[in-house]
Structure 1
Amino acid sequence: MAHGVNGRRLPLQQTLHGYSEGHRLLASSIDLPPRDAKTLLMMSDASGPAATIGAEGYLTGYPLPESGHYALARTWPAPELPRPGCVWTHTILIDFSDIPSVRGAGGILKLFRRPQGDERSYGTGIEYVSMAEDDDRTGMSDDFARRILSAVYGDPTRPIVSVAADVRARETLALAIWDQQWPRLRRAFRFCTLSFADRSSLNATFDLQFLPANGRLRPGQFKSAIDADRRKFDTTEWLEDAVVDLKEGPEGSLRRFLRAAGSDVGGRESFEPLATLHALSLHFDLDPSAVERAISLLERTMSIDQGHAARSSIVRVAANAADSLGTEGLQFVVRNFGLIDPAESDAAAERVGWALWRVDPKALFDIRSDPARGVIAERAIVTMPPASLLEGITSTPTHLVELLGARPDLAREPGLWLLEGATKPDVFQIIEKSPGLFDGVIDAMIRSGRPLYREARATFGSDLVLRRLLARFGDPTIEDGIRSSWLSAAASDVDAVARILVEDWVDDVETLEAIAHVVAPDAVPNAYGDDPWLLAIRRLSTPLRNAYLASFLLVRALGRRTMNSVELVQATFDVVYDAAEQRTLPEDAWRILDRRLDRSYWWYDWDKCVRIRHTVVKMYLDRGIDALAFVAITARDDIFFELIAALSEKFGSQRYLKAIRNRMSDAGMGGERLRIVKHAIQW
């Protein structure tokens, strides 16, 4: 492939050092600061006294920090020069800012050239097209790479030396190691492929030096160095990962990870942790515990002010796997949550918050006010299912009011009303600010099974509580005993009952019967206008057939509270009488009737029908009710006959009977009923 198709053109600087009345700079395309110039001069000389250098020379790599360049140099022997031990050194200078763009450092080797009487040509810059395919890794054995990598990164504070391998393998491995590193480590890494003496200085230790293979030097001559050839090491996953990546070259997954995660970490000591993180990352999808191990490794090996990029990548993964993390892993994510991309923040906060709530609900409240991490608490509280929130809050009940302030809809959950502190004034103050929740809250309080009607009435008023009770009358989730106790308490406000009865939505017998079971027949006031109970039964879509309700209303009609006694008798008498006659009258209906019906030694108390007839007749007679209304008490002629008979037995009834006769005649009513009335009149 031609240069420039997929590479980046990099401007490089160069220098040439050699002999001219001493070893010195012969040409340079750049002016360097004095300190860097001195370093360059020293490093360009032979790598030790009495050095025996092969024709192919050796490579040296080191930084020039003042000018911001990395020096890659090749040194050749110069036997043609008059002084023994002279060398030529061609140094290529890469700007620190261009180091990330150097892909396949092996291609730079092609730029080195031994001077051929053209020294002046080294005084201009050169251009290099960085190409991945320029990288050459032939001749590099796995065992050799494994041993050197283990030493370089396994003992990161010590210089490493080795006598292994030929010149070609040394250069290939040294450049491959340098190319594998992330830019920041590249800028600091020092190596030499043939050192006849330790090239380190007081403030610039060489990381990796290869010694002559002829045995003239012993590794022990290098102060504090580790002999890689004798060092014992274990084959670890990170090490194998690194060896594989060396063979993969510029497209290796490890080096891509290192360049992303190592942007803010420095020396060799960071390589093993980062490489281990990468090795662990290969298992994240199948082994959730790998995420926890990665977190533990980061916390153990990198200070809080380092490894932000690495933390960022692990935080993102950990946030995605939050459900499987333990307390330590979740705390790591929370501490470093600010490293997550804002575009992913809401989704990550939701997952992490849910998981944190599962293991430590209090911790969620602890971070809620934190500007950087509060989003975790807010997203979790807003999105978490009510059941999960209620389960978690039991472990930190002091935060119930705070939770409810953020999620007032929880008040619609019966479980909330079983919690400690659920009936505190602060709770109801929050609920009062959300009128749209009132119906659901009342339902939840009822379904909780707790006797909270006093609190409900105080907060929502009797009318609303009573409406919700009646609206949920047939709800199977509410036990009958609970419903009855609530209804009794709510109905103790008889004015509220009266208001409910006149509302249009109360239009079924079941609801009216439910109310009738919890209030006394005379309880509901009727100081003016039509009786609320009468208005309610008029709205029924079918005639009243409910024996209990009819009995209740008949008792009310016989009392003095209603202004519509006649209408109530007309609506209920036949229903009650038929049930009594057929012995189908419910026991609870008879109990309320029995307390109001007349008793007499003239007839048997056990005969319900007799007592009903005589009590109703007495009411009409005693109250002087319109005589024509008497005719409308029952639709049955046979019962009308019994009513007239009962009336005729009453003291002073003759006058009333005559009034009935006259009113019937005036109304044009004849037939059997008129005959019965006339027959009962004594002339």
Structure 2
Amino acid sequence: MIKVHQVLHGYADGHRLLRASLPLNAGDARALLTMSDVSGPNAIIPEEGYLTGYPLTGLGMYAIARTWPADELPRPGSVWTHTLLVDFSDLATLPNPGGLSMLHARPSGFRFDRYDTPIVTDISSIANVPCGHRIGELSREIIAALYSKSKYAIVAPTTASAEYELVVMAIWGQQWPKLRRSFRFCTLSFGDRSMENMRFDLQFIPPSLQRSIARIPEILLVDPISQETKSIPWLEHTTEDIISPNTSFFRDFLKSEGATLNSTREAFRPLAAIHHLITHIEQPGGINLAVEAIDQLFGQGHAVNARLMIAKTALERITEMQEGAINFVLDHINLIDPSFLDEHSYPLAQKIWESSPSMLTDLLNKNSAGINIAEKGLEKLPSATLIDGIERDNKTVTSVLAYRPDLVTQPLFWKLYGISEKPGFQVISARPDLHQQAFHAITEANRPDLSSTACEKCGHALALQIISEKSHTINSSINLHREIWITAAVSNSIEISKFFISSEKINPEFLEEISHYVPQILSKLSTIQILGLLQSLDAIKL
């Protein structure tokens, strides 16, 4: 339920205030008196009258008035005006503020008692109703002018005042609360009703006044039936909502976003454009278009709810995102609900890695949400995918290996010439448990140039064991450069001793093979080491 105050003006030895259901200060009383008088000279007012809407900021109320001809009064040109005053806060709750016009009541006789008390009415009785295609068509040119030419007062010539009353109510009802309560309109003016610091946004005039009105600065004449404006997505989107209110949740969006914006008309068009893009985001390129548009239309930091909607929709359609959309999501990551973000963090990490590997590793230095995305990606991405990314962006190798040391066990990793060696061997030095798999990977990558370092880091004894095992393996990469690998493996005599001692059984052919290297081995040993080695060899079970 809302309370609606009423004010009645009419003729009594001049146009004056006749009744009011609330006290009025001098300024508000003066504004009401002026706005309730006839809307211009030589006015010919139809029997149903006309509507005028304007804010009374001092009262914190919006005035919506209906003015009728008072032909029964002795003074020619007399009028009755019944003004309804609605708190700004109540006006914001009405889905269809135009429904307030049903509460207007023309005086009957000279009994005015009914205007002394406020009207209490049920909000649910003032609901949105579809306007139909005719009202949508008549609204289109006016909407285009109102929101594309926001610096101008829009004036439309027409003879169908009753029909355009529905147009005005539909346009007014579509607006978000801040804009709605600042909007000034008159459905039948006989001259520009704007005053200092109170410019009317929209007025309808008789066609005969076009020339005189057109001379007034900052007034734009619009023909509502011309259909001159070309098809523009935001305009068609807005007009569709006039025909079928809020079917795409456009008004909910305007109400949400409008709360963070100013009350001027210029904000409407970009909001409509963004909502159109959001509702059509499933179309090819829709996400990326929305991302590009929002900063162009609003600039950084504005339209927070719209940004959140775009970011969440982008996460739900990750495969379609281009780099700009990825950056947009990351820039707005703190707006997103943590549980929703967590649900989409791995697919997002995949997309980031695909687009720019360093973008993902850079997140490790960001906030907790960014770190979580990077960690999930690095921990779960397939080895081949990570290695491909490292090849494309070698600055990432150290960060990746910190989370995925297992990459050193992949031959593909060691095929990254000039990238894998230093960080790879650092991992091997720190992870003895990876020595065997890493040595296998290095040999399978056909990297004889790394033989000395691989044997040193993984252990010469381990190297001899693996070389021995691969003696009869067909197509083994190690056998392509067997001499190089054996030479590297036997270069540490102490490690060789460990190999002979630890091996339960040595392939005689392999023993014969490495015997060719005995002089090389012995030349590097002391007498005591030679005796130890001979004892080791004596103990071998062939």
TM over 0.5: yes
| Structure 1 match to 2:335 | 339
User: How far is the alpha carbon of 1:23 from its aligned partner?
Assistant: 4.4
| Residue pair 1:491, 1:515 contacting (<8 A) in 2 also | no
Question: What is the TM-score when the length of structure 1 is the normalising length?
Answer: 0.66
Q: Report matched runs for 1:660-671 at 5 Å.
A: none
* Cα displacement (A) at 1:562: 4.4
Structure 2 CA distance for partners of 1:86 and 1:359, relative to 1, 3 Å: same
For the pair 1:386 / 2:383, whether they are aligned, the reply is yes
Give the counterpart letter for 1:456 in structure 2: A
Matched with 1:663 is none
Distance 1:562 1:343, change over 3 A: closer
Aligned to 2:290: 294
| Partner of residue 103, structure 2 | 111
Higher relative contact order (CA 8 A, sep 6+): 2
Give the alignment of 1:305-316 within 5 angstroms: 305-316=301-312
1:444 and 2:441 are equivalent in the alignment: yes
Q: Does 1:53 align with 2:53?
A: no
CA 1:466–1:90 in 2, change beyond 3 Å: closer, same or farther? farther
Deviations 1:621-669 (A, max 9, x none): xxxxxxxxxxxxxxxxxxxxxxxxxxxxxxxxxxxxxxxxxxxxxxxxx
Structure 1 residues 221 and 337: CA distance shift in structure 2, 3 A:
same
CA contact (8 A) 1:139 1:168 kept: no
For the aligned residues, what is the CA RMSD? Answer: 3.9
1:172 Cα deviation after fit: 0.8
Deviation, structure 1 residue 465: 5.0
Alpha-carbon offset, residue 126 of structure 1:
1.7
How far 1:37 sits from its partner (Å)? 5.2
Contact 1:152 1:268 in 2 (8 A): yes
Equivalent residue for 1:456?
Answer: 454
**Percentage identity across aligned positions?**
32
Asked if 2 retains the 8 angstrom alpha-carbon contact of 1:26 and 1:119, the reply is no
Distance (Å, rounded) in 1 between the aligned partners of 2:58 and 2:475: 80
Selected match of 2:400 from 403, 410, 419 = 403
Shift of 1:175: 0.9
Structure 1 pair 410–218 and aligned structure 2 pair: CA distance change class (3 A): farther
On the 8 A contact 1:104/1:131 being kept in 2, the answer is no
How far 1:563 sits from its partner (Å)?
4.1
Inter-partner Cα distance in structure 2 for 1:204 and 1:517:
106
Q: Per-residue deviation at 1:170?
A: 0.9
Instruction: Report deviation, 1:174.
Output: 0.7
2:117 is aligned, of 114, 118, 123, to: 123
- Alpha-carbon displacement from aligned partner over 1:51-92 (angstroms, at most 9, x marks no partner): 332221212223334444333322223344555444333333
> What residue is the counterpart of 1:166 in the other structure?
160
Give per-residue Cα distances to partners, 1:564-619, cap 9 Å, x unaligned.
59xx6xxx7xxxxxxxxxxxxxxxxxxxxxxxxxxxxxxxxxxxxxxxxxxxxxxx
Aligned with residue 93 of structure 1, among 72, 76, 85: 85
CA contact (8 A) 1:104 1:130 kept: no
Contact 1:71–1:93 (CA under 8 A) maintained in structure 2: yes
SS at match of 2:123: strand
Partner of 1:329: 325
Shift of 1:301: 1.7
Q: 1:415–1:448: 8 Å Cα contact kept in structure 2?
A: yes
How many residues end up aligned between the 2 structures? 525
Larger Rg: 1
- Consecutive unaligned residues in structure 2, runs of 5 or more: none
CA contact (8 A) 1:446 1:483 kept: no
Q: 1:237 aligns with which of 221, 224, 233?
A: 233
Instruction: Say which of 54, 57, 67 aligns to 1:75.
Output: 67
* Structure-2 residue corresponding to 1:144: 138
Q: How does 1:185-334 map to 2 (within 5 A)?
A: 185-213=179-207, 215=209, 218-229=212-223, 232-266=228-262, 267-285=264-282, 287-334=283-330
What residue identity is the alignment partner of 1:62? Y
Amino acid across the alignment from 1:200: S
Q: 1:14 to 1:214 in 2, by over 3 A?
A: same
Q: Which stretch shows the higher mean deviation, 355-364 or 203-212? A: 355-364
Relative to structure 1, the CA distance from residue 337 to residue 475 in structure 2 (aligned partners, 3 Å threshold; closer, same or farther) is: farther
The 8 Å contact of residues 135 and 243 in structure 2, kept in 1 or not, is answered as no
- Structure-2-length-normalised TM-score: 0.81
Distance 2:303 2:158 in 1: 34
SS of 1:130 mapped into structure 2: helix
> How far, CA to CA, are the matches of 2:230 and 2:258 in structure 1?
24
